[in-house]
Structure 1
Amino acid sequence: MSKLHFTTLFILIFFSFEIYSQKKTLQAKSTSENITIDGKVNERIWGSAAIAADFIMFEPDNGKPISSDKKTEVKVLYDNDAIYISALLYDNEPDKIQKELTNRDVFGVSDHFSVYINGFNDGQQDFRFFVSAAGVQMDCLATEDYEDFSWDAIWDSEVTITEFGWAVEMKIPYAALRFSKANKQTWGLNFMREIKRDVQKYTWNRIDTKIGAIIPQAGILEGIENIKPPTRLFLIPYTSAYYQESDIGSDRTFKAGLDLKYGINDSFTLDAILVPDFGQTKFDNAILNLLPFEQRFEENRPFFTEGTDLFSKGSLFYSRRIGGAPSTEPTITEQEEITNYPSTVNLINAIKISGRTEKGLGIGFLNAVTEKTKATILNAANGEVRKEVIEPLTNYNMFVLDQRFNQNSSITLVNANTTRNGEFRDANVSALLFDLNTKANTYNLYGDFKYNTINTIQDYDGFKTEIGFEKTSGKYRYGFSGKYVSENYDVNDLGINFYSNYHNAYAHGSYRIVNPTKVFNTFRINEYINFEVDNTSKKLQTGAFGTEIKARTLDNDTVELLLEFSPFETFDFYEPREYGKYVFVPEKIITIFNFTSNDNNPFTIIVQPAFTKYNEKGRNTYGFYLGPKYRFNDKFSLAYAAEYTKMNNDRGWVDFDDSGVVFAERNREILQNDLIGKYSLNNKMTINLTARYYWSYSKNHDFFTLQNSGYLTPNNSYTLNKDRNFNSWNFDLSYSWWFAPGSEISILYRSYGLERTRVVEKDLSKNIKNIFNSDLTNVFSISIRYFIDYNSVKNKF
């Protein structure tokens, strides 16, 4: 090859790389004209604004330019209050545009347009705003590993279906964003269009799926100058009324309170709740829990879900601790019994401050106070009644410093503190985290060190540390990590952690396609190995090899397969419920298969069989999940889910006796049925139905005594009945109307019941009859929340 040819080739390669890596830039245009958000894009000023076009496919065929009959044109205007976005989304078959009506933040079967805004252009966090072709809004705060759709901003949008496709207009107030104080703004910006019937997504600035990070691959928005954002002060007063009725009697409750959001400056926001009311939050899915650990519940209270990405750093914050179950039980004599033990502790108030500076420093502060709670105790011998404190006045505090740099890396300091009044247990946990990525987002080094101090009857402390390395780009990826957890590692006062006193080694390698083949639209296979060893006994508690496969076919059906082999004898250090004890767990094989049909079809279905085989005679577990859904039209849909699990010759702890720790061999069955219905009157008014019936039993047939070796020997003298039969019923029928931005009227009818017994009833019809003949509680409630923007009030007066 001649020098000229070599130089030419080098230049072509170099410039092709530059073209590939170049970020698109869009100029925002200033306007003094009043922009009406009606989806018609007919104001004169739009005609002179710069156009963002030439969208590129994000998935499945990454890098493919959008076709001319699907061209997309986006423009941006701004004034002192907000930025305005218009989008013309061309479609050669507008009658095929998907536009299902859903609740807010539910994507559904719809085409979507979205804008991703990073006000600091630091490649770290997006404010994302979506609108569907049905006019439904969705929004979230997004980092590379977290999308918080519980965050709800106040912004306007309208869409229209046209002869050429559909059109969008959006108004996003500066109060919904965070950016620097610079006179000339430079923001990270990207637009995304989803064509649902083709299961395709396109972005304005190309996102290369060979690279692990998405946010740093945004384009640039320039042109916003000399803006003076208004004061960010929002008041959300609410009032609610409840009527509750059961066999015990009836009760009427009226509540009123206030949520407050205040922009301390351009970067930080104060959120506070006064006289909290969580009566209309989703019910918890209670189960028959025979594990040595508490059941972990999802958080449904808006204050603890909105904008909490900073507080999730280090996994030290389990918000259900705040206002959850009391931390102690009363001490009683043989003559006494507990007649009233509150299941939850009342929250008095809570505040949080969060935000990020122009230099990438994220600061989060959360404080909550719960009230003193007492149990009632009756002395059966003399009839005396006394009360004992089971949870004192308690203060919960979270503090987070998260410094981001190089657009893709961070170092984080977290502190979680629980202080209880009086002589009750106090706890403090601190953590240092790091997440470092190469400039090209090809490799990642991460790790942490966490240290806890517990002040109780006998003080103790513990720690946990982990380090890991991963290749995060390309078709072939791999990673490995190791961790050490000390015996007294305990974060359970404000966090949740089940396992301690072990060290671990983990490694994985994966292959994926980044463009469709003749068989698959997407395909990924991952191989992993995982070993955990108890620190004290040096015995293996986990030893597994696994294969995970996930693929989407050309018909956009999804297929998943998990195969996990545990070919070693392992030991469970938690099931015995006694310090220093452990129980043998035989070798096993786990198989899980999942098929999910293309959700563009009116009828969709999820099928998931699972099977676990132990190297022990007659011991196995099999389960089956079936989830059909039918979308009658864009307004009405019904979904049903049935989940069944059968455990044959399962073994678990049941009691303590003179011989020591007692285990039982038992048969178990679990059945759960869910019915979910949705009828949307329009994009702001919805009727929702959620019903759940859960039944489970545990029938013991043989008993054993746990030996110091970890193995079981028969116990023929144990005769107590430790069988369990558990029935649970929940029913919610609700009406929601977003009658103004950020303002909602909600009407809820709720019915629920719970039955626990030692008598196992295997006849399903009798179980259903028993739960409906039990003391069902019925609640009817109305709640009104009204959003008040200080600036709107100020302008009116």
Structure 2
Amino acid sequence: MHINKRYTFIDKILFVSSLLLSISFAQAQTTTTAITNKSIPAVRTNKKIMIDGVLNDSAWLAAPVATNFVEFRPAFGNIEDAKNKTEIYLLYDDDAIYIGGFCHEASVDSISKELVGRDVIGVNDYVGVLFDTYKDKINGFGYYITPLGEQYDAKYTNNGEDGSWNSVYESKANIVAGGWTFEMRIPYSAIRFSSNKIQDWGINITRNRKKSGKQYFWYPLNPNVGGTLFSQAGLWTNIQNIKPPLRLSLSPYLATYANHDGTTNPKTWSTTISGGLDVKYGISAAFTLDMTLIPDFGQIQSDNQVLNLSPFEVKYNENRTFFTEGTELFSKGNLFYSRRIGGEPLHYWDVQNNLTSNEHIVSNPSATKLINATKISGRTASGLGIGVLNAISSAQYATIEDNTGKSRTEETSPLTNYNIIVLDQTLKNNSSISLINTNTWRAGKDYDANVTAGIWDLYDKKNKWNFSGQADVSQLLGILPNGGNQIGYSHTLGFAKPSGRFNFSVYQNLTDNKYSQNDLGYATNNNFLDHGLWIGYKWLKPNMWYNNLRFNFNLTYSRRYMPSSYQMFEVNSNINGQFKNLWNGGIYVSYTAAQNDFYEPRVEGRVFKIPAKHLIDVWLNSNYAKKYSAGLEMAYYATSKFGTSGVDISPNQSYRFNKKLTISMNSNIQLRYNNIGFATLDAGKSIMGSRTRYSVENIWVFKYNFNNKMGVNLRARHYWSRVNYHQFYNLQEDGGLMTTARDYSSLANYNINYFNIDMVYTWQFALGSFLNIGWKNAIQNFDPTLDRDYFKNLKSTLASDQLNNFSVKVIYFLDYAKLKKKSNV
């Protein structure tokens, strides 16, 4: 009876969705796109340009000017005000591209500026120059500058912007009467292009004026047109006789660490000194080799550790520079999770199970040691992108000791080689096809893994329609008891209308029960067949009270693939936008029908029936260009059974004292009442429990920049999670719960704290060269006292034993082309 009601409801939803789709097809016939052709002639100079931010070099008199910028947001199509006009000048010579600009402002006070450090925009106004050097309308490079002369650079693909990519270029800016001026020098070693004698590049230029909330593009970027950023771009024409230089740079480093371990008795000090080398070498005009030898990641930001009660692994952010910079090719297909490299040993959790009654663990490192890593990436003139990544981690061992003091070692991870190969061919109309292979090879008897995927992303000529998909085959080699291989399959299919005010996409995701990508990728689970629909409508023309509004509707239906059975049905919708005062906010509502959860029980073949749930989420953020900005998000959900409910409260606030000092705080408070979830196993049976859970996360950031080359950043984070079970249940065969009188609280209750401080002083003492002084503090407190409030709990945490790490690291950038030029003088 309940099943019939559910499918009647689904039928109604599908009928409404079909009606909306028919409207979108009709609307598509009336959508028109204005096409503007703009170009800038390339002008060569033989005069010297000093990069000081002052446009008084005589070379600029011959430079063509790009002006008449068009508003992108909030009101697309308006020509910029003459009082705030933008003038950009471009030149080139045998060695570099030169960009100068005058950003006019009616009042200097209207310039939004803050010292935030490299690769951060913050609340700054900025100008960015974007080059599509192969003119494929997909891939490109962006070079940005703020009024205080700080840099931000990025790579662009059909996956969007990769802000982690870094290049080395010169820039300087000055705030002057009537606005601000800048100059940039981009050496050819910092950009990739073909060796053709005569070239045309795609180009666009953007300016953002944060206090007004307005962003402009030199070539109009219509937000109602689908495709990539470079699908709407002008041309930089007739570039002649530029030659890609020998691109070779070395970044040797020297680091020293002092570690104080307050968790041992007696407390111990230890020191280490390490050195290594990062190498960038231009194999050809298009391809670059990146290599890190004896890498050092001791100063990276600490992980945001949490108490994980879910059946799935926590996915942490990647903070290691080598694995974040220039990895846009390797991120295609979502098959690469770089934390696998140098991550947790394969048999880390087996050590405890292999102990005899008189043994204990002396040491069991939680991460493997990375020996080296190499990347080769680039794109040919015909649009073929090639990427190869290889990394090797050494074998890892745990040390075990018995009661007599005799010790032994146990291998927790063998010598392991990780490899990724990507072929990505751009096509007409912003389309592309890709082939990706990931491989994990382990020495010895452990299994190996291999995943191969084909990806396509196809647009029609006007970028109105898109057909995309991916097909994957995974192989676990030698994993079966007889030494055989396990082969799995997965695919994604999607059809979308990305252009116009009315958009939609429909998709199918299928993954069989043998597919696995987790040896070098990340996925929570396999064995599903999902279908989904997304419909959106946007109002981008400012009105009396808003600058823009966006509405979308989503529907998801999920089944297990084998054996086929219902898992989940959800429908949700949200509306969000920006108001005239540059505040933004939105509201989200969802309904999830009763679910069959096959993972929470932690026993194969068992299911937990989750009751239906409804949720509402609202958020509001003030104008973050103001000195003080704040935001608040609040969500409430409740289920139809067990009295389960939850509240999420996420406030954030920031105060900018001046252009140098900013303090911010972000919080996330989660309150769960009568939450039903897995508690423990008893004789192989799932024990579920009703629990109250409070989780609080507070992150404080103190940023002080002395100038645009030197600054201090301190980040402190405290995470607390308390879980108190008050009723336990035996999970029944039909997925229901039966009350048990047995108390499992000693096994299931938690009171966990993580506290971290990450402080780094950074000084860029030369182009591409840095001195970093760091301090890291870490506390883990597993407090059995459940009835403490937050502040008593924090006080107890700060009084606990802790780890402190002090470091000094020097990185020096050596550019072969620059050294050779100096030696020839």
The answer to whether the superposition gives a TM-score over 0.5 is: yes
- Aligned partners of 2:590, 2:800: CA distance in 1, in Å? 42
1-side partners of 2:676 and 2:562: how far apart?
24
Mean CA deviation greater in 440-449 or 763-772: 763-772
Equivalent position SS for 1:470: strand
Secondary structure of 2:572's match?
strand
SS of the residue corresponding to residue 185 of structure 1 reads strand
Write the distance in 2 (CA, Å) between the matches of 1:32 and 1:719: 80
Partner residue in 1 for 2:423:
401
Tell me what 1:96 maps to. 110
- Report the Cα offset of residue 95 of structure 1: 3.0
Alignment equivalent of 2:793, drawn from 760, 763, 767: 767
Kept in 2, the 8 Å contact 1:57–1:201? The answer is yes
SS at match of 1:633: coil
> How far is 1:196 from its partner?
1.3
1:64-86 CA-to-partner distances (Å, cap 9, x unmatched) read 11111122221211111101011
- Residue aligning to 2:175: 161
Question: Residue 773 of structure 1: CA displacement?
Answer: 2.4
Q: Within the alignment, does 1:269 sit opposite 2:288 as a pair?
A: yes
1:455 alignment counterpart: 477
Match of 2:615 among 575, 587, 590: 590
Matched, 1:684 2:709: yes
1:729 matched to 2:744? The reply is no
**1:564 is aligned to 2:590:** yes
Match of 1:640 among 665, 672, 697: 665
Measure, in 1, the Cα distance between the counterparts of 2:783 and 2:360: 19
**Paired residue secondary structure (2:333):** helix
2:240 — aligned with what? 225
Match of 2:321 among 285, 294, 302: 302
1:629 corresponds to 2:654: yes
Aligned counterpart, 1:555: 581
Aligned to 1:755: 781
What stretches of structure 2 of length at least 5 have no aligned partner?
1-30
Separation in 2, partners of 1:182, 1:86: 26
Q: Give me the whole-angstrom Cα distance separating, in 1, the residues matched to 2:87 and 2:253.
A: 41
Match of 1:368 among 381, 388, 391: 391
Q: Could you tell me how far apart the structure 1 residues matched to 2:383 and 2:716 are?
A: 45
Find out whether 1:315 has 2:338 as its counterpart: no
User: 2-side partners of 1:713 and 1:357: how far apart?
Assistant: 64
Q: Distance in 2 between matches of 1:680 and 1:457?
A: 53
Aligned equivalents of 1:54, 1:71: Cα separation in 2 = 7
Match runs of 1:13-162 below 5 Å: 20-162=34-176
SS in 2 for 1:562: strand
Partner of 2:198: 184
Residue pair 2:53, 2:172 contacting (<8 A) in 1 also: yes
TM-score (norm 1): 0.96
| Aligned residue identity for 1:218 | A
What's the secondary structure of 2:418's corresponding residue? strand
Contact 1:124 1:407 in 2 (8 A): no
Distance 1:148 1:17 in 2: 31
For the pair 1:652 / 2:661, whether they are aligned, the reply is no
Equivalent position to 2:279, from 260, 267, 274: 260
Taking the aligned partners of 2:744 and 2:297, their CA distance within structure 1 comes to 44
Measured in 2, the distance between the counterparts of 1:689 and 1:377 equals 38
Number of aligned positions between the proteins: 779
Q: Could you say what secondary structure the match of 1:768 adopts?
A: helix
SS of corresponding position for 1:286: coil
Question: 1:415 aligned to 2:437?
Answer: yes
- Decide whether the 8 Å contact of 1:525 with 1:550 is kept in 2: yes
Structure-to-structure mapping, 1:349-360, within 5 angstroms: 349-360=372-383
Matches within 5 A, 1:667-678: 667-678=692-703
Q: Is the 8 A contact 2:644 2:675 kept in 1?
A: yes
Determine helix, strand or coil for the equivalent of 2:504.
strand
Amino acid at match of 2:373: A
In the TM superposition, what is the alpha-carbon distance from 1:339 to its structure 2 partner? 2.8
User: What is the deviation of 1:769?
Assistant: 2.7
Structure 2 counterpart of 1:600, one-letter code: A
- The whole-number CA distance in structure 1 between the counterparts of 2:447 and 2:727 is 39
CA contact (8 A) 1:506 1:529 kept: yes
Q: What CA distance in whole angstroms lies between the structure 2 residues aligned with 1:645 and 1:222?
A: 56
Question: What is the match of residue 377 of structure 1?
Answer: 400
Please state how far the C-alpha of 1:500 moved relative to its aligned partner: 1.1
Letter in 2 for 1:233: L
Pairing of 1:221-620 with structure 2 (within 5 A): 221-247=236-262, 248=264, 249-328=268-347, 329-330=350-351, 331-380=354-403, 382-458=404-480, 459-566=485-592, 568-620=593-645
**Cα RMSD (Å):** 1.5
Question: What TM-score, normalized by structure 2, do the two folds share?
Answer: 0.93
Alpha carbons 1:299, 1:305 under 8 Å: kept: yes
- Counterpart check, 1:704 vs 2:723: no
**Fraction of identical pairs, as percent:** 36
- CA deviations on 1:358-378 (whole Å, 9 max, x unpaired) are 111110000000010011223
Q: Distance in 1 between matches of 2:50 and 2:602?
A: 65
**The residue matched to 2:629 in structure 1 has which SS?**
strand
Q: Which amino acid aligns with 1:525?
A: F
Q: C-alpha separation between the residues in 2 aligned to 1:516 and 1:487?
A: 49
**Structure 1 gap ranges (5+):** 1-15
C-alpha contact 2:258 2:806 (8 A) present in aligned 1: yes
For residues 198 and 383 of structure 1, do their structure 2 counterparts lie closer, same or farther at Cα, with a shift above 3 Å needed? same
> For residues 484-527 of structure 1, what are the alpha-carbon distances to aligned partners after superposition, in whole Å with 9 as ceiling and x for unaligned?
11011110000000121110110011110122111210110000
Give me the whole-angstrom Cα distance separating, in 2, the residues matched to 1:690 and 1:281: 12
Post-superposition CA distance 1:154-211 (Å, at most 9, x none): 0011111222211111111111111111101110001111111101011111111110
Q: 1:628 to 1:720 in 2, by over 3 A?
A: closer
Partner of 1:201: 215
Q: Does 1:694 align with 2:725?
A: no
Work out the CA distance in 2 between the residues paired with 1:229 and 1:514: 42
Q: Is the 8 A contact 1:130 1:138 kept in 2?
A: yes
Equivalent residue for 2:770, pick from 726, 731, 744: 744
Q: What secondary structure, in the 3-state scheme, does the structure 2 residue paired with 1:21 have?
A: coil
| Letter of the 1:140 counterpart | A
